[in-house]
């Protein structure tokens, strides 16, 4: 049993992780984009604590965290929230670059910074839900892939920096997963969406929990999850 803070618990992979952790009776903290979303999360997860902070505005997270109760000791920080915007480099506006970099990279870095004292106290675990696009940048995926490549760098540096404090760091690289994000990707690609072709969010959540549950003598540094047959 431990305390876990999850971003992106309102949907998809984050929601599947919140379901698994709350079913185990763990102490769960959920970060929502605003107070209204936080109230919705408390309705769905009555035993969970909530925090509000918009990942699209990372510079304000420090102020927001300073005005809310935070876990004293944190066993895991699960960065799952994310956004995607497809488009060629030639047609991607600055706003799309900034939003993806803010939500997918800068906010996870800032939240990690703010919660490091709590993570060190618990010898905790930081999980970054990355993407296959964090390993390979295909046409029209440039801005999203850039944000995920950067998140990989964040995770790799953090792992080495925090090793001495007993903090473990895992990057998870899922392939296409049947969530609201994948519906949007299909719309932007002009393709018909068939969720049965893609990974169930519960399967990615199961892989994340396997990394968390691994005994302390070992650390899963990276997990790649691909659609099965």
- The CB-based long-range contact list for 65-72 (8 Å cut-off, 24+ gap) reads 65/114, 70/29, 70/114, 70/115, 70/118, 71/3, 71/5, 71/27, 71/29, 71/115, 71/118, 72/118, 72/121
Out of 92, 131, 143, 170, point to the residue binding ligand NAP (CB under 6 A).
Answer: 131
Out of 92, 118, 140, 179, point to the residue binding ligand NAP (CB under 6 A).
Answer: 179
Considering the complex, state which of residue 57 and residue 73 has its C-beta at the smaller distance from ligand NAP.
57
Does position 37 interact with ligand NAP (CB under 6 A)? The reply is: yes
Out of 20, 64, 70, 83, point to the residue binding ligand NAP (CB under 6 A).
Answer: 83
> What's the order of all strands across the beta sheet hosting 49-52?
49-52, 27-32, 3-7, 76-79, 125-129, 168-174, 222-225
Residues 6+ away with beta carbon under 8 Å from 136: 145
Q: Please give the residues from 91 up to 120 whose contact with ligand NAP meets the rule CB under 6 A.
A: 103
3-state secondary structure of 213: helix
Could you tell me the CA-to-CA distances from 192 to 54, 185, 189, 195 in Å, in that order? Answer: 31, 10, 9, 10
- Strand ranges (DSSP E) for the chain? 3-7, 27-32, 49-52, 76-79, 125-129, 168-174, 222-225
Q: Please give the residues from 133 up to 172 whose contact with ligand NAP meets the rule CB under 6 A.
A: none
Enter the tokens of residue 160.
């080495």
Does position 58 interact with ligand NAP (CB under 6 A)? The reply is: no
| Binding-residue total with ligand NAP (CB under 6 A) | 27
Does position 12 interact with ligand NAP (CB under 6 A)? The reply is: yes
Q: Please give the residues from 195 up to 214 whose contact with ligand NAP meets the rule CB under 6 A.
A: 201
Considering the complex, state which of residue 37 and residue 120 has its C-beta at the smaller distance from ligand NAP.
37
Considering the complex, state which of residue 123 and residue 176 has its C-beta at the smaller distance from ligand NAP.
176
Considering the complex, state which of residue 74 and residue 127 has its C-beta at the smaller distance from ligand NAP.
127
Out of 4, 6, 8, 74, point to the residue binding ligand NAP (CB under 6 A).
Answer: 8
Binding residues (CB under 6 A) for ligand NAP: these are 7-8, 10-14, 33, 37, 54-56, 80-83, 103, 129, 131, 174, 176-177, 179-182, 201
């Amino acid at each position: 049993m431990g305390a876990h803070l999850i971003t992106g618990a309102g949907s998809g992979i984050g929601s599947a992780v919140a379901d698994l952790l709350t079913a185990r009776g763990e102490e769960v903290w959920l970060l929502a984009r605003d107070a209204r979303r936080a109230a919705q999360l408390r309705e769905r997860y009555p035993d969970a604590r909530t925090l509000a902070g918009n990942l699209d505005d990372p510079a304000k997270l420090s102020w927001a965290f300073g005005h809310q109760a935070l876990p004293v000791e944190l066993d895991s920080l699960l960065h799952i929230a994310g956004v995607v915007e497809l488009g060629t480099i030639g047609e991607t506006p600055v706003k799309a670059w900034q939003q993806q970099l803010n939500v997918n990279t800068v906010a996870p870095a800032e939240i990690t910074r703010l919660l490091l004292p709590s993570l060190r106290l618990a010898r905790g675990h930081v999980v970054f839900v990355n993407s296959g696009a964090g390993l390979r940048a295909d046409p029209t995926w440039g801005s999203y892939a850039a944000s995920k490549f950067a998140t990989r760098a964040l995770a790799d540096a953090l792992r080495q920096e925090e090793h001495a404090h007993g903090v473990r760091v895992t990057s998870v690289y899922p392939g296409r997963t049947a969530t609201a994000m994948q519906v949007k990707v299909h719309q932007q690609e002009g393709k018909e969406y068939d969720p049965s072709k893609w990974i169930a969010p519960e399967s990615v959540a199961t892989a994340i929990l396997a990394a968390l549950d691994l005994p302390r003598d070992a650390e899963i540094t990276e997990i790649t999850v691909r659609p099965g047959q």
